Amino acid sequence: MKESTSAPDWKDRHCVPCEGGIDRVPAEAARRYLTDLPDWSLEEDGLQITRQLNTGDFRTAVRHLNAIAELAESEQHHPDLHLTRYRHLRVALTTHAIGGLSENDFVMAARIDQILS
């Protein structure tokens, strides 16, 4: 995957299998991509993006977690999901095979936003 010069319409794309061998998305490009994904934050290390959700109740948190899990399986790109204090869901995206961000992470972020809206 080559790096784009501008943020594409992520929600219309699908993840591409990654077994490594591609360059990470640099932090500068990640910040630019996140302008279209305002609910997501770039972590300080520049290796992952995260979204925090306060769902209000346990059932909603689990419903969101399950919907994200279904999407992850269909895209074969799996986020780290953290459910704490029964209603706080944190979603972390990174491409484990390259130890940092790939375009797949931004595709998943946009698609997760779609199912949560």
Q: What is the pLDDT of residues 31-85, one digit of tens each?
A: 999 999 999 999 999 999 999 999 999 999 999 999 999 999 999 999 999 999 9
| Residue 2: pLDDT band with limits 50, 70, 90 | very low
Residue 7: partners with Cβ closer than 8 Å, 6 or more residues away: 32, 33, 35, 36, 106
Crossing angle (nearest 10°) for helices 58-75 and 103-116: 140
Task: Output the average pLDDT for the chain.
Answer: 90
Say what the pLDDT of residue 15 is. Answer: 67
Q: Please check whether residue 37 is in contact with residue 106, taking contact to mean a CB–CB distance below 8 angstroms.
A: yes
Q: How far apart, in whole angstroms, are the C-alpha atoms of residue 82 and residue 93?
A: 12
